[in-house]
Structure 1
Amino acid sequence: GVRSLEPASYALADRTGRILRSGSYWNLRDHANGDAPSDRSTCVQNVGKLLQSSLESHLVSDVPVGLFLSGGIDSSALAILASRAQKGLDAITLGFEQKEFDETAYAKTLGKSLGLRHHIFQRTEADLLDEFPHFLDSMDQPSIDGFNTYLVSKAAHEAGLKVVLSGLGADEIFGGYPSFWQVPLALNLQRLSGLFGPGRKVFASLAGQLPSAHAEKLATVFCRPNHIVDLQLLRRELFLREHHQTFVANDPSLCENTGIANDLIQRLKSNVAGLDPESQISMLELQTYLRYVLLRDSDNFSMAHGLELRVPFLAKDLLEFAIRIPGKWKRPARYPKPLLVDAVAEIPKEIYARKKQGFSLPWATWIKGPLRPLFLSHLETRESWTTIGIDSKFPLKVWNEFLANPTRGRASRVLALCSLASFTKSHKLSAP
């Protein structure tokens, strides 16, 4: 069989493939209890030095190195740091006709000020829709993420680049996700509900009635264990753990192999023990969503275009320092990711002080409209679902729930099923 190794781990095998010994040679948690920075200004200086050192080492290459420039804080910081070390770098920006997620104006201004060779690729909605089937075909594992990386990597390939820098990791180590405040808040709400006897059931019932796309998850908060790991995993869940038994075909025992393995949950709980809330979320984002989704997908979809993607924010020295930074310095004050913004002082105010746009594609609109035939062709094929152990009625149930209430979360569920169906058909997979 084929096994994948965890990051920073090894395995020793004999000639027959039998594993003789395996283990880990590095764990970020081992560095969390080192000396914390004594004051914020010194911390900012050290972050700046570590970032600059990382950028310089990631620019070493026998071919030109470019970078993705979106116009947000992370890619702007990368561009500034890289330009200090090397002039005339190539920068890749995607422009879109949908103004709600087009950031080319900010990227163009920064690129001009830094003297970058700036390649701006304008993409229409029709362009994106045409690429979607190719995106599905390029997957080496089913995923609902990575379409943005696929698109910008294709643009970098068209620009002649072989190596690019990405801003992955900045949100995880500098507190850029809403999870840094949402999960501790949910933990406190959960504890508060426990003070009122049957309060958890009451709170769960009330939360489930809220007119919100997140009502189902909010209600589930009061049904999960009172631990930050359980609530962080809930925040990232697509299909709630409580519903897994509804989609397995005929054999309830298949549920035992769904969701996150208990030994991983226990490892995560051990890794965050004793840390402040911000450092706990940082550790969890690094060791779950970044590790298993963002890095995996970025590697997959950049290599689909013959591109090597490098991640300077995830340099070992920087990670080992960042995990010791007191959480209070990572909290947004007047602007997000204050440590990063202060460490790279040249980031323009119009970039760091504006509301984050991000790359959130209109999946709900597309799935109901131009992509509807493609999605239904995957969801309606009953035989393909039973072949992989999924109740053939479940995909259409998810589809109908989406049509009745086309929220972003429900669109992601439909996208996940389409991705899974496409992958299993292409690779002729079946349940064991």
Structure 2
Amino acid sequence: MCGLLGLLTSEGTTDDGVARVDSAMHCLRHRGPDEHGTWHDGDLVFGFNRLSIIDIEHSHQPLRWGPPENPTRYALTFNGEIYNYLEIRAELARDHEAQFHTEGDSEAIVAAFHYWGADAVRRLRGMFAFAVWDTETRELFIARDPFGIKPLFIATGSAGTAFGSEKKSLLELADVIGIGTELDPRAIEHYTVLQYVPEPETLHAQIRRLESGSYAWVRPGEAPRITRYFTPNFPVKPFAAGTEQARYREIAEALEDSVAKHMRADVTVGSFLSGGIDSTAIAALAMRHNPNLITFTTGFEREGYSEVDVAAESAAAIGARHIVKVVSPAEFAAAIPEIVWYLDDPVADPALVPLWFVAKEARKHVKVVLSGEGADELFGGYTIYREPLSLKPFEYLPKSLRRAAGKLSDRIPDGTRGKSLLNRGSMTLEERYYGNARSFNDAQLRAVLRDFRPEWTHQDVTAPIYAQSRDWDPVARMQHLDLFTWLRGDILVKADKMTMANSLELRVPFLDTEVFDVASRVPLDQKITKTTTKYALRQALEGIVPPHVLHRAKLGFPVPLRHWLAGTELFDWAHQQIADSQTDHIFDKAAVASMLNEHRAGTSDHSRRLWTVLCFMVWHGIFVEKRIVPQIQEPVYPVHV
């Protein structure tokens, strides 16, 4: 796990270019405090900060490798882990007599690229963002893992292309490659609606992200040529009669194999543990490979907003040593500027704050943690996925009657029972489902956003994704949408950023191509029932997950944001952020202040909308106004982990 940065110029690199990359790498020091290195070759500069996990004494980067006739042909810089690297190395040695000089996974990538070309990315089982420079063809190949677990930002200007693990490092090179740093108003609107910036956008107009499941070829002086190599599909067929138990075993075996491979490391591996089925399953399976496993959870001082007790019971049931971090409101507020700096772009998911704290605690004891992200998207775990069942009667109504129901709902007072059902039943899936987050509707957005453009909607993001799944059942379509939106825009961003902020590697065994292959074939009635979600997964985990968790509803890391914004904990902080922020050209600050007062008075719950705007204001104060200067500490960690 590491931080990478690259600069490909159209007129050759200079000593100044090398120095600029070396300087910009300081922004990424938290991603790899163990080693630092740069390498350059005429057109290209690679910078690298390493967090040593596998083959610690070797596998230094940027890494050189090549076939016997040119043993230094390629240079590689790589962030992530390849979990089937041992199998790939063995296959390449057997079939191609490939020679290796380290014991790590980095050589497996570059050797696979040499012998298999771009198709190598389809054979890699893991999380990755990497770049390979071919000194013979003078061409750069960059790629990102299928689900977008690891980030990769990219920008091309008049003088070259820069790419890196974090956007802030590319901002340091903006003048070198000839790009501006103006903001993207469409991305701001998308963020305000969705609470995250959807891929491939960022809030800076000329910096984008290489999308999940994609690779690109880049030549000096040319724009990147991008190809999507992985598109998640759900080729669902009903389980044949009498095969249910065999399917459940197949799910359990795929997950057990994934966890086993995710345990490969030369350092201590721990596990995050909430009170839910997903993290408990991962921790229980990890215990089979490390009986001394340490698990970590977090909670808050406010009663009812903590999974601590359930997580502790789960840890005891599986026999793990368990460590808890309880977060106070004062700690929560004080950490926000630092957290937003690490994020690069704001993500208005309050759950990332406790994640940052539990990662900070975990790093005192381990260097790698496992976690349960991705299970809900793969196996149908969100309660909202049950909505098509409740709305099915509307499908039998003529379109005109459905629209009439929607108009009727507009005249019903807010809070009236049945209003939401009529409103949502009047819409198509494409119209009503944005993914797992929606902070503002159009009327609310128009009230607070200065440059509101009605033609910029969530469908800018969702329509191309929905177009790929027209013939699927509605739940599969929702899962597919979430894989491209909520998962990679929110869940995986906060997972990567909050753990790497603390130089901690997070691994997600559910987001494995072999596990996905099994999950994608689970039929609708094995995902969602009238009483539960993730039905097939729950059945598969019988005997693995303790009974008190197996059929428990999803909760996650709940945050008492609604109470804190209305009370002494965060109201004054929020009021001051609104007053100080120089975002009058973006938001109607009087309208935002009014929302805050209404929230405090209890007339409306504006907590999620307020948090969305407040996170942006803090971000703007850091990256645009330079008014807020987070206190970023140099990473220093115990050597024994």
Change (3 A) 1:77 1:379: same
- Residues 1:247 and 2:448 aligned together: yes
Indicate how the Cα distance of structure 1 residues 13 and 261 shifts in structure 2: closer, same or farther if over 3 A, else same.
farther
Summarize the Cα distance change of 1:34–1:94 in structure 2 as closer, same or farther, 3 Å threshold: closer
| Candidates 174, 182, 201, aligned match of 2:387 | 182
What is the alpha-carbon distance in structure 1 between the residues aligned to residue 334 and residue 559 of structure 2? Answer: 14
Cα pair 1:63 1:162 within 8 Å, conserved: yes
TM-score, normalised to structure 2's length? 0.59
Question: Is residue 336–residue 352 contact of structure 1 (8 Å, CA) maintained in 2?
Answer: no
Match of 2:487 among 269, 285, 290: 290
1:270-315 CA distance string (max 9 Å, x none): 2322112222222122221111111112111111111111111111
Amino acid across the alignment from 1:329: Q
Aligned to 2:439: 238
Amino acid at match of 1:6: E
Matched-pair contact (CA < 8 Å) for 2:329–2:569? no
Matched, 1:151 2:353: no
Equivalent residue for 1:33, pick from 235, 238, 262: 235
Tell me if structure 2 keeps the 8 A contact 1:80–1:114: yes
| Aligned residue number for residue 422 of structure 1 | 618
Which residue of 1 is the match for residue 429 of structure 2? Answer: 228
Deviation at 1:418, TM superposition (A): 0.8
Alignment partners' CA distance in 2, 1:50 and 1:177:
22
What SS does the corresponding residue of 2:325 show, helix, strand or coil? strand
Q: Where do 5+ consecutive residues of structure 1 fail to align?
A: none
Give 2:321's match in structure 1, choosing from 117, 131, 144: 117
Q: Residue by residue, what CA displacement relative to the aligned partner does 1:363-415 show, whole Å, maximum 9, x if unpaired?
A: 12211222112211121246x1234x33343322432443354655x101111
Instruction: Tell me the alpha carbon deviations over residues 166-224 of structure 1, each in whole angstroms, 9 at most, x when there is no partner.
Output: 11111222222111112553475476484538623443225543347x96x6675367x
Quote the offset at 1:161 in angstroms. 1.8
Partners of 1:71 and 1:106 within 8 A in 2? yes
* 1:394 counterpart letter in structure 2: A
1:2 alignment counterpart? 207
Deviation, 1:155, is 1.6
CA contact (8 A) 2:435 2:485 kept: no
Deviates more, 1:86-95 or 1:107-116: 107-116
User: Is 1:371 aligned to 2:570, yes or no?
Assistant: yes
> Once the 2 structures are TM-superposed, how far is the Cα of residue 333 of structure 1 from its aligned partner?
6.0
- 1:324 matched to 2:530: no
The residue identity in structure 1 corresponding to 2:353 is: F
Pairwise mapping of residues 67-86 of structure 1 onto structure 2 (< 5 A)? 67-86=271-290
CA distance, structure 2, for counterparts of residue 150 and residue 233 of structure 1: 27
Tell me how far apart the structure 1 counterparts of residues 334 and 415 of structure 2 sit (CA, whole Å). 37
Are 2:366 and 1:161 equivalent residues in the alignment? yes
Contact in 2 for aligned 1:162/1:306 (Cα 8 Å)? yes
SS at match of 2:225: strand
Distance in 2 (CA, whole Å) between partners of 1:130 and 1:425 is: 15
Contact 1:100 1:357 in 2 (8 A): no
SS of 2:256's equivalent in the other structure is: helix
Residue 68 of structure 1 contacts residue 91 of structure 1 at CA under 8 Å; is this kept in 2?
Answer: yes
Q: CA deviation at 1:95?
A: 4.4
Contact 1:48–1:344 (Cα < 8 Å) also in 2: yes
- Tell me, in whole angstroms, the C-alpha distance in 2 between the residues paired with 1:184 and 1:231: 15
Distance 2:553 2:564 in 1: 25
Shift in Å, 1:23: 1.8
1:84-126: CA deviation from partner (whole Å, max 9, x where unpaired): 2332112112244433133333322332343323223344444
Structure 2: distance between partners of 1:399 and 1:415: 10
**Equivalence map 1:50-69=2 (5 Å):** 50-69=254-273
Give the C-alpha shift of residue 54 in structure 1: 0.8
2:563 paired with 1:358: no
Offset from partner CA, 1:204-247 (integer Å, 9 cap, x none): 225543347x96x6675367xx4323221176321113544433
User: What amino acid is the match of 1:173?
Assistant: L
Give, in whole Å, the separation in 2 of the partners of 1:349 and 1:272. Answer: 36
Secondary structure at the residue paired with 2:346?
A: coil
Contact 2:274/2:308, CA 8 A, preserved across alignment: yes
Unmatched runs of 5 consecutive residues or more in structure 2: 1-205, 627-641
The structure 2 residue matched to 1:209, chosen from 403, 411, 414, is 414
Could you tell me which residue of structure 1 aligns to residue 304 of structure 2?
Answer: 100
Deviating more after overlay: 46-55 vs 145-154: 145-154
Aligned partners of 2:300 and 2:334: how far apart in 1? Answer: 14
Structure 1 contact 208–218 (Cα < 8 Å) conserved: no
**Sequence identity percentage:** 25
- The secondary structure found in structure 2 opposite 1:28 is coil
> 1:179–1:232: 8 Å Cα contact kept in structure 2?
no
Distance 2:604 2:251 in 1: 39
Deviation at 1:127, TM superposition (A): 4.0
Q: Report how far residue 420 of structure 1 moved.
A: 0.4
Paired position in structure 2 for 1:310: 507
In structure 2, relative to structure 1, the CA distance for the partners of 1:85 and 1:333 (3 Å cut) is farther
Letter in structure 1 aligned against 2:564: W
Q: Decide which structure has the larger Cα Rg and report it.
A: 2
Amino acid at match of 1:360: P
Distance 1:126 1:267, change over 3 A: same
Q: Is the 8 A contact 1:175 1:337 kept in 2?
A: yes
Give the alignment partner of residue 339 of structure 2, picking from 126, 135, 138: 135
SS of the residue aligned with 2:288? Answer: helix
Q: Is the 8 A contact 2:302 2:560 kept in 1?
A: no
